[in-house]
Structure 1
């Protein structure tokens, strides 16, 4: 039975894949199918079947690495694991139906063959789920590290003046990262004035304001002065309504005004030069 099924899949590979793709598309979410090009979908489907066939060869040493590569690919494509597992189950039924259509099995053995196919492909399904989950966790972990590295950079713009642009929501974990980067950056860049730019922070509530104030006070403790820039009208109103006192910090509405003020604090200023004819 085993060799008979393998031979049938290999001989009818194109027809089986085409039927399988049609069934998968019928059952899949239209939104997912619409964002994947036909070429990519076709190519990935053939790759999936090749992986199944590769699994049939118990002596093939490439199977494990190819499975990992395939899992990484579908993670990048954004395919849900439910879609992949459902596709494998559909493949089982397509092969079974094709065996019947090509009269490779008798009527009284249909159930036997279907059970065999299910049991045969179950380990592959489990392995794909495990590899997919591991790949997804690794990808998410790497993305998280990358986001953390980019989420709170302290940028030296001119000598003794650095800027930390904050973008997005600030939670407790990110606030800790901001504090660490801020203090390390002030020391390493020998900054005298630090501008914390909150232009890109959509909401400033009590917690966010508390974290920003803590960061500003920490900067003062290491011998630098801190300025809060990007105070939009709605943020100013929110800060007033929350009863938060920012009088001990210099604040400006824009980064440009903050930069001009920072230059003055370091005994410098912007001078417009006359054009020389």
Structure 2
């Protein structure tokens, strides 16, 4: 930044800060900020604006490092990107307005405007890149964690396995379910597989299609499939959508499904008399 403009910003920093704090209050009604306490909002605003002013003082390299660390903290605290960008736009207007009011020369107004525009654009680029990178990394780690924990095939008795499904099933996850299912059937030599959808919040046409595909794949490798965990609301949805699940048995609970699987594998659970 031009040394002359930098000195003017630092000279009037207190006026700029107080004016910005007043104008930023209009954002408090934003739905994304409703759950943030008044004290937290005020303290974050003050830290934000002081950090911006300090970037002028500390030079470009130090400024970028400070901003990266600051934005990382905001991400961890759950602050929306919209707060950052709107706050910077408001800071741009406030700074130009304050500097213009202290000068009577039109040429200085233009100089202030261009310098502040370039500075804020650089700051926005740094913050948005940091925000995007952090969120992309967070989403990647979450997807990897979900992939590691998603849809395990659990052997519960000899030749009987259970696959509990939890959460929303999309195309990518359905592919993973299919792979785990087929690999598990072969590894555990399963004759009967129970697919438990108790933890699946919604069963629509796409989810049902994936489940039907999975059951057909199980049949092709020599095992049978039982769908369990069908709640009343899920049953109603399946009927209303006209989804045909008649090709393989269904049970309302995992307990009933295991009882059926034991019968299909010619096994039974007996209660031993006390010695």
Give the shorter-chain TM-score range.
0.7 to 0.9
Q: Matched residue of 1:220: which SS?
A: helix
What pairs up with 1:107-118 in 2 under 5 angstroms? 108=106, 109-118=108-117
Distance, in Å, in 1 between the alignment partners of 2:69 and 2:272 is: 58
Q: CA 1:14/1:223 → structure 2, altered by over 3 Å: closer, same or farther?
A: farther
Q: Which residue of structure 1 lines up, in the alignment, with residue 84 of structure 2?
A: 84
Q: Which residue of structure 2 lines up, in the alignment, with residue 181 of structure 1?
A: 180
Q: CA deviation at 1:177?
A: 1.7
Distance, in Å, in 1 between the alignment partners of 2:222 and 2:39 is: 60
Asked if 2 retains the 8 angstrom alpha-carbon contact of 1:152 and 1:166, the reply is: yes
Q: Which residue of structure 2 lines up, in the alignment, with residue 24 of structure 1?
A: 24
What pairs up with 1:231-270 in 2 under 5 angstroms? 231-233=230-232, 235-236=234-235, 242=242, 244=244, 246-247=246-247, 249-264=248-263, 265=265, 267-269=267-269
Q: CA 1:178/1:273 → structure 2, altered by over 3 Å: closer, same or farther?
A: farther
Aligned-residue Cα RMSD (Å) equals 3.6
Q: CA deviation at 1:43?
A: 4.3
What pairs up with 1:33-182 in 2 under 5 angstroms? 33-45=33-45, 46-47=47-48, 49-50=50-51, 53-54=54-55, 56-58=57-59, 60=61, 62-99=62-99, 103=102, 105-106=103-104, 108=106, 109-157=108-156, 160-182=159-181
Q: CA deviation at 1:38?
A: 3.5
What does the per-residue CA deviation read over 1:160-183, in whole Å, with 9 as the maximum and x for residues that have no partner? Answer: 543222234433333212101212
Distance, in Å, in 1 between the alignment partners of 2:53 and 2:183 is: 52
Q: Which residue of structure 1 lines up, in the alignment, with residue 207 of structure 2?
A: 208
Asked if 2 retains the 8 angstrom alpha-carbon contact of 1:196 and 1:227, the reply is: yes
Q: CA deviation at 1:196?
A: 0.4
Distance, in Å, in 1 between the alignment partners of 2:18 and 2:245 is: 68
Distance, in Å, in 1 between the alignment partners of 2:141 and 2:7 is: 42
What does the per-residue CA deviation read over 1:133-158, in whole Å, with 9 as the maximum and x for residues that have no partner? Answer: 33333333333333444443334445
**Structure 2 stretches lacking a partner, 5+ long:** none
Asked if 1 retains the 8 angstrom alpha-carbon contact of 2:190 and 2:223, the reply is: yes
Q: CA deviation at 1:215?
A: 1.0
**Structure 1 stretches lacking a partner, 5+ long:** none
TM-score w.r.t. the length of structure 1 is 0.75
Asked if 1 retains the 8 angstrom alpha-carbon contact of 2:182 and 2:217, the reply is: yes
Distance, in Å, in 1 between the alignment partners of 2:150 and 2:172 is: 11
Please identify, of 195-204 and 172-181, the stretch whose mean Cα deviation from structure 2 is larger. Answer: 195-204
TM-score w.r.t. the length of structure 2 is 0.76
Distance, in Å, in 1 between the alignment partners of 2:273 and 2:98 is: 82
